[in-house]
Structure 1
Amino acid sequence: MRGSSHQRTNASSRFLRNPSSPLSFVLYISLLCLFSVIFFFNSTTQILENQPKYPFHPQHSSSLKGSDDSLWSTPFSHSLRPCVKPTSQYTAPQNSGRYLTVRSNGGLNQMRTGMCDMVAVARIMNATLVIPQLDRKSYWKDSSTFSDIFDELHFIRTLQGDVRIVKELPKELESVPRARKHFMTWSGISYYKNMSGLWKEYQVIHVAKTDSRLSNNDLPLDIQRLRCRALYQALRFSPPIENLGKLVERLRSHGGRYIALHLRYEKDVLSFSGCTHGLSDAEAEELRIMRENTNHWKEKKINSTEQRLGGLCPLSPKEVGLFLHALGYPSSTLIYIAGGDVYGGSSRLHELESRFPNLVSKDTVATAKELEAFSDHDSQKAALDFIVSVESDVFIPSFSGNMARAVEGHRRFLGHHKTITPDRKGLFELFDKMERGELEEGSLLSSLIKQMHENRHGGPRKRGGAPPGVKGRNRFRFEESFYENPYPECICSSKKNGQMATSKVHI
């Protein structure tokens, strides 16, 4: 090999010494061209090898640069900033020797908010909180532990000035009798002060359910801010989930701006709500049977037409397409689909894809190898959807639910990032008129939908109470969730209290 290289070098030298020879000149140019081609091929190969290999190829995403900026802009927030700092009256936690064990129930976001309630309850009752056990018996049947989904050490350290938290119950207390309680839903500070009387007989209290155990309103400011510190600072996802949160960077590198669409057109949602509009008779029957066979769903006979008229059904993929088009989003818009499998599969999702072909999900943005560790762990995969949704340019939920409320609340906390909440009742009226031939798709429909959603972009407003006429304890159930809108307790106009003003998601 050395001899061949030496001969090539000598030949090149002769060409350089005799540039006047026509043959030498031609050969010299040919060699230069050959070397250029080889160099270009090698460089191109290296570049391609360094490119991430995702099954993800948006079409015409660059056309978004010319789209209306008002479609993406954040609502005016009046210089509001997050404020979670305790008041001057706040004291450090004491080691009382009392312990609270809890079993969190529901899906990911129901468990998240429930655990934050339990942090506040432990503070109120002057108890040490044991790291919660997660629900393994729900619809998802996820076997994940707390540390699989959340950064356990970070959770303990972040709240050490608020509540004492331990990984396990001390061994000497494992066999002692426990008070097993289903704490009353939507309870206030006085209720838990009364529950503290249980410490006279027990050293350990076990809470069987954590969802909605605290009222949304009428709690001390320090308790409300503690709930925010727990949710927005302490309850960060585990490193594997946080690391795969780089899906956001991939979306940005391909499309720049994107919509996160929480598409809840899922089998369990349709079955639970009794919504069958646009489905076949066989599909409607399948949903009815599922509802009948799900014991903890109390309502069995549901009138689908009444549900739709009341705006209590999720938007279908076709209706979402009509909605986004009417708002003015171009067909090239990159849309990340968050949520489970669409009922009806690809054929039904095609009704949205035909208008907006740049549909992606975690399954197409991430590689199969990256998602392998999350297989059979729906709560962990839901965490990925949550991160991508919170950091999106626009978030749109097709149905109200725990994730939709949690994402909206987090986006409000981070600076009222744009969240468009569809007026489903109003939209269904317009879409039904279209089906009857009384309204056509076009400028009139677009104008009506834009006007309908003029003030539904996630702008600042105080948390809503119960609707007029709702009285008694029932009113608590109809109040707007604290975690959906933590204003005014955790969002202030004072720049002095504006810590944590960041667009990065660390849950």
Structure 2
Amino acid sequence: MLFCNILQLLDHRLWEPPSSQGLHECVKPTSKYNKATPVWDRYMTVRSNGGLNQMRTGIADMVAVARIMNATLVIPQLDKSSFWQDSSTFSNVFDELHFIESLQEDVRVVKELPKEVESLPRARKHFTLWSGVSYYEEMTQLWKEYQVIHVAKSDSRLANNDLPIDIQRLRCRALYHALRFSPSIEILGKTLVERLRSRAEKYIALHLRYEKDMLSFTGCTYGLTDVESEELRIMREKTSHWKMKNINSTEQRINGLCPLTPKEVGIFLQALGYPPSTLIYIAAGEIYGGDTHLSELTSRFPNIVFKEMLASQEELKKISSHASQTAALDYIISIESDIFIPSHSGNMARTVEGHRRFLGHRKTITPDRKGLVELFDKLEAGRLQVSSLPRHVKQLHRNRVGAPRRRGGAPSGIRGRARLRLEESFYQNPFPECICNSQSAVR
């Protein structure tokens, strides 16, 4: 009986979320916030760039920018020219009517430009990255000459910090409340979560960024064959907008800049104490090398599923060729998981982590890739005993489970605009502006 109780206690600790410390979502406007007044002669059109989550956070930024510049926001155009070549429109991915109605007290949103202004000259702008309110107030000078401003890129156009609290909360309302997925995606996503729950009481959502584009972009070839490494090098060389061509893979890995390999993820999960029977949902695209590399994870954790194993071909037929729509399913399943673990810190990893913090600090284990690589290499070289690995891994991650903390700034010693790029993303951790307790809420 005592042994069973100990096992139950250990199992509970594996899945137990961190304490939210009484914090909760906090997005209502302050008493100083004025209801939006309709703007009939100033329009902002937006071309969202990047993958699903880069577009989502960019759109939330543009809602705030439209508010600052007193503009009517036209429903953004989604990226159709990125790596995935996805032809999805806004209404294919998001609930367009809900988006418009949810923001009606913040900013006027319309489906398209009125006919009478379609042919007018437009100010085409690449707004400066990580800009503050004063920058966009200066940009309102454009209204003297133009009725339409076209924003060529939407990603990271607002600073992470030092913005008015009402602008920060508007970004949260836009991302977490207004930018809801389309009804068909929401329904299918929740259905797949229910099917996962029917297989096991709890599950891990693993964002396994071991995909061809990610490995090529980062130049990470550890564990790959010479043929695979060369294929990735050629792909990087041919992708014009990837600036870095010659990358030292060994240095990348040592510095913790590479996605964990399927084998490394398996060892990591074992060291944390998760049993082989653990249900793991892979939130990712096609794994590079297929079963050859994936088997290094499934040999340790055979209870692994993909969306294609949960949904029927009929259910996936309409969205299978649309990366942003299939990524939306992964997002929903990741948000609802008991534990979320990203193997690399990309846009989805950061956005899911932030959303889970917003929803009550659901457990998110963020691997210390640099520290893990050091441990794995010691293990392989015989300088670390297998039996001592769990202790080291658990110690390394005791404060990396998604517990409440304030958003981090740039590393010390960084000056000028360079520091803005190195600050922790607002959407990775919207605390303290959008997460508070009753006592600290701004009225």
TM over 0.5: yes
Work out which of the residue numbers 414, 422, 433 in structure 2 matches 1:489.
433
Work out which of the residue numbers 247, 251, 255 in structure 2 matches 1:302.
247
Counterpart-to-counterpart distance in 2, 1:496 and 1:154: 30
Q: Who is 2:25 aligned against? A: 82
Structure 1, unmatched stretches of 5+, are 1-63, 499-507
**Cα deviation, residue 171, structure 1:** 0.3
Structure 2, unmatched stretches of 5+, are 1-6
Work out which of the residue numbers 94, 101, 114 in structure 2 matches 1:157.
101
Please say if residues 67 and 330 of structure 1, whose CA atoms lie closer than 8 Å, have aligned partners that are also in contact: no
Q: Who is 2:264 aligned against? A: 319
Aligned positions, number:
434
**Cα deviation, residue 95, structure 1:** 2.2
Work out which of the residue numbers 145, 148, 154 in structure 2 matches 1:201.
145
What does 1:74-473 align with in structure 2 at a 5 Å threshold?
74-96=17-39, 97-245=41-189, 246-442=191-387, 444-473=388-417
What does 1:5-24 align with in structure 2 at a 5 Å threshold?
none
Letter in 1 for 2:12: D
The TM-score with structure 2 as length reference comes to: 0.96
**Cα deviation, residue 433, structure 1:** 1.2
**Cα deviation, residue 483, structure 1:** 0.3
Deviation string 1:232-262 (CA, Å, 9 cap, x unpaired) is: 1000000110110111111111111000000
SS of aligned partner of 2:386: coil
Letter in 2 for 1:71: L
Deviation string 1:460-500 (CA, Å, 9 cap, x unpaired) is: 000000011221101111000000000000001118969xx
SS of aligned partner of 1:400: coil
Counterpart-to-counterpart distance in 2, 1:497 and 1:323: 39
Structure 1 stretch displaced more, 273-282 or 315-324: 273-282
Letter in 2 for 1:107: G
Counterpart-to-counterpart distance in 2, 1:140 and 1:238: 20
Counterpart-to-counterpart distance in 2, 1:69 and 1:478: 36
Counterpart-to-counterpart distance in 2, 1:65 and 1:110: 40
Counterpart-to-counterpart distance in 1, 2:228 and 2:383: 28
Letter in 1 for 2:22: S
Please say if residues 84 and 497 of structure 1, whose CA atoms lie closer than 8 Å, have aligned partners that are also in contact: no
Please say if residues 130 and 168 of structure 1, whose CA atoms lie closer than 8 Å, have aligned partners that are also in contact: yes
Structure 1 stretch displaced more, 289-298 or 273-282: 273-282
Letter in 2 for 1:182: H
Letter in 2 for 1:459: A
Counterpart-to-counterpart distance in 1, 2:274 and 2:10: 8
Q: Who is 2:3 aligned against? A: none
Letter in 2 for 1:330: P
Counterpart-to-counterpart distance in 1, 2:35 and 2:116: 26
Counterpart-to-counterpart distance in 1, 2:187 and 2:133: 38
The percentage of aligned residue pairs carrying the same residue is: 71
SS of aligned partner of 1:69: helix
Deviation string 1:418-457 (CA, Å, 9 cap, x unpaired) is: 0000000000001111222222322x00000000000000
Please say if residues 81 and 495 of structure 1, whose CA atoms lie closer than 8 Å, have aligned partners that are also in contact: no
CA pair 472-412 structure 1, distance change in 2 beyond 3 A: same
Q: Who is 1:44 aligned against? A: none
Counterpart-to-counterpart distance in 1, 2:441 and 2:176: 15
Letter in 2 for 1:332: S
Counterpart-to-counterpart distance in 1, 2:313 and 2:292: 23
Counterpart-to-counterpart distance in 2, 1:89 and 1:387: 34
Please say if residues 101 and 207 of structure 1, whose CA atoms lie closer than 8 Å, have aligned partners that are also in contact: yes
Letter in 2 for 1:86: P
Structure 1 stretch displaced more, 308-317 or 94-103: 94-103
SS of aligned partner of 1:315: coil
Counterpart-to-counterpart distance in 1, 2:438 and 2:307: 38
* Rg (Cα) greater in structure: 1
Counterpart-to-counterpart distance in 2, 1:441 and 1:260: 26
Q: Who is 1:6 aligned against? A: none
Give every structure 1 segment of 4 or more consecutive aligned residues whose post-TM-superposition deviation is greater than 4 Å.
64-67, 495-498
Letter in 2 for 1:104: S
SS of aligned partner of 1:68: helix
